[in-house]
Amino acid sequence: MKTFYIIVLIFIISIISEKTNAQKWDWAVGFGGKGLERVWDVKVGNSGNIYITGQYTDTLIVNQHQYPSNGLSDIFLAKFNRNGQLGWVKTYGSKNEDVAIAIGIDALENCYITGYFTDTLQIADTNLIAKGGWDLLIIKTDSAGNYHWARQIQGTAGEVGYGISVTNEGNAYITGWYQDSVMFHNGYIMHNYGSSDILIAKYDTYGNLVWAKHAGTSGIEYGYKICSDEYGNCYVTGIAGVANCNFDGFILDKAGMFVAKYNANGAIQWAIAGEDASVNDISVEKNGNGFVTGRFIKNAIFGNDSITSFNNTDDAYIAHFDNNGNWLWAIDIGNNGSDKGRCIENDINLNAYVGLTYDSTITMNGQTYYTKGAGDILIQKINSMGEPDWGMNAGGKYDDVISDITIDTLGNWIVVGWFSDTCYFGNKTITSSGQSDVNFFIAKISPLSSDILKYNNDDKCRVYPNPANNILNIELKDNQNVPIFFNLFDIYGTETYRSEIISNNFSIDISQIKSGVYFYQIVREKNIYKGKVIILK
């Protein structure tokens, strides 16, 4: 049995690490109206539904539905299916400025968004009144967009929620920054160290505050993004403006971007710095190994790795860390002009997918990407060793920006951002309401189907149909009357089905398994058959 589990582990590592080098822009859709519409963040549920959030001025137009703004800027939350077709839109706004910057979803696809609001914000029967300038805001809805609850963190100065990470159970971790002192909805008051501090807080699925922490110096510090692993640890990234940032007694002796790890109870575990770099996003896998991306000018230091920008311009970077707080490597991406790492996601094999903006040219893995105008978008795969793989670019005449990227259960990449005038995604074209209007987009990159289905080519084993719906059939031709071990794993390496059978031909019931890409392994004594199967409901 021990040998069997070793074989399973080798299988998971080997099959997911195989390269799929053929990608395509599957679809791209643009929405908006007059003025500015930006989508800041995206998440995809197990069902394949896409949830986005952001801000808009003037009137938001989605599929001919119009949503007039109540003030300077309003919040929107929207749901689309896996093909980019609209499900619903919800908007929230006061007569002043309101912005949603981040979104998270739980296993039931309840939505949690964070950002800030000003003035008086009415949501259903909840009336929120900002005390100072910006007050930090958290809103929860269900998967149909029905309002559940809202929470504010208020103070006399400014408080902003920049990042949120939600567990399957609905625990929500948030980060951002605040000035002066702040009060939570339950009356808890938290002071600060100086000008602005990093804020980290955990809420349960009912909106109860579980714990709240802050970090800072007498200078300026910000919390930007946050992720969580399967053990409930959270990983915060942001900026420490000066050295000796205090994380609950853990002193970070260097300035620059940082990553800090807290356990599920809010106890600091470690913090590490990337000297002389700024940061925009963080991504971790289920065990807490992860990546950050952002930009730097001239030089930046990540542990033992020092990187240098091209001709002292601002370049993008990607840095990889482990769950014990060690920098493993860092690379720069850039050329003449301005290059920024905007967002990042990773898969189980610790391949990173970074979303960049660039305004000159970038050469990666022998491929040169040229801009079509002022600034374009590049999605670049970097393997676990820091080596570039495939890339996909998009853009038009004016500035086009990617704000987030995520991976769905079928192994597709969903990207969001904003554009002006006309933007090209391969042979897909989208157009904004007017040349000067900034509209938002959602686009999908898919691996070609021939690459997805090419694994099962052994004439001694047949697994069909592929794609499958409710029943998966297996036929073996080795004619042995010994047990068969059949296992099915999802793209994260989690075992979703297991059985032991003595038969050359058998069927398994997959009616309760969700849509997605899965990897199977069949073991019969020394014979091992492995492959990839798609389950579609």
Kind plus residue range of the DSSP H or E element containing 15: helix 2-17
For residue 314, the cross-strand partners are 297
Q: In the structure, what pLDDT confidence band is assigned to residue 458 with cuts at 50, 70 and 90?
A: low
The helix/strand/coil state of 12 is helix
Q: Of 228, 289, 215, nearest to 263 (Cα)?
A: 228
Q: Which residue has the higher pLDDT, 252 or 451?
A: 252
Asked if 163 and 172 touch (Cβ cutoff 8 Å), the reply is no
For residue 370, the cross-strand partners are 361
Give the C-alpha separation, 237 to 272, whole Å: 10
Give the C-alpha separation, 275 to 93, whole Å: 38
Residue 156: Cβ within 10 Å count: 13
Asked if 72 and 134 touch (Cβ cutoff 8 Å), the reply is no
Q: Which residue has the higher pLDDT, 181 or 461?
A: 181
From edge to edge, which strands make up the β-sheet containing 50-56?
Answer: 37-44, 50-56, 74-80, 86-92
pLDDT at residue 104 above 70?
Answer: yes
Give the C-alpha separation, 123 to 151, whole Å: 11
pLDDT at 373: 83
Number of DSSP helices (H) and strands (E) in the chain, helices first: 2, 47
Residue range 362-371: mean pLDDT, rounded: 90
For residue 422, the cross-strand partners are 431
Among 414-428, 480-494, 508-522, name the most confident range.
Answer: 414-428
Q: Distance of alpha carbon 223 from its chain centroid, rounded? A: 16
197-203 and 314-321: which strand pairing? Answer: unpaired
Among 216-225, 482-491, 511-520, name the most confident range.
Answer: 216-225
Torsion of CA 529, 513, 353, 369, to 10 degrees: 80
Residue 25: Cβ within 10 Å count: 18
Instruction: Return the structure tokens found at 15.
Output: 């099959």
Residue range 40-68: mean pLDDT, rounded: 95
- Residue position matching structure tokens 């109860």: 208
The helix/strand/coil state of 10 is helix
What Cα–Cα distance (Å) separates residue 357 from each residue in 14, 168, 404, 456, 479? Answer: 32, 32, 12, 38, 56
Q: In the structure, what pLDDT confidence band is assigned to residue 420 with cuts at 50, 70 and 90?
A: very high
For residue range 128-174, what is the model confidence (pLDDT) as tens digits? 999 978 999 999 999 999 999 999 999 989 999 999 999 999 999 99
Q: Of 104, 20, 89, nearest to 59 (Cα)?
A: 89
pLDDT at residue 1 above 50?
Answer: no
Question: ∠ at Cα 346 (343, 352), nearest 5°?
Answer: 75
Instruction: Return the structure tokens found at 410.
Output: 């079928």
Residue range 239-265: mean pLDDT, rounded: 97
For residue range 290-320, what is the model confidence (pLDDT) as tens digits? 999 999 999 999 999 999 999 999 999 999 9
- Cβ-Cβ contacts under 8 Å for 190 (sequence gap 6 or more): 178, 181, 182, 183, 184, 199, 212, 214
For residue 77, the cross-strand partners are 53, 90
pLDDT at 525: 60
Give the C-alpha separation, 529 to 506, whole Å: 15
Instruction: Return the structure tokens found at 206.
Output: 């009912």
Asked if 274 and 319 touch (Cβ cutoff 8 Å), the reply is yes
Q: Of 11, 6, 48, nearest to 532 (Cα)?
A: 11
- Residue position matching structure tokens 């920098």: 327
CATH number for the domain formed by residue range(s) 456-535: 2.60.40.3080
What Cα–Cα distance (Å) separates residue 66 from each residue in 98, 123, 384? Answer: 18, 19, 45
Residue 219: Cβ within 10 Å count: 17
For residue range 464-473, what is the model confidence (pLDDT) as tens digits? 999 999 999 9
Instruction: Return the structure tokens found at 468.
Output: 């499958």
Give the C-alpha separation, 126 to 19, whole Å: 50
Asked if 333 and 348 touch (Cβ cutoff 8 Å), the reply is no
pLDDT at 366: 86
Q: In the structure, what pLDDT confidence band is assigned to residue 492 with cuts at 50, 70 and 90?
A: low
pLDDT at 243: 96
Give the C-alpha separation, 326 to 328, whole Å: 6
pTM metric for this prediction: 0.83
pLDDT at 20: 40
Instruction: Return the structure tokens found at 157.
Output: 């100065």
Instruction: Return the structure tokens found at 535.
Output: 């389950």
Residue range 86-94: mean pLDDT, rounded: 97
Q: Of 165, 133, 437, 433, nearest to 282 (Cα)?
A: 165
Residue range 206-228: mean pLDDT, rounded: 98
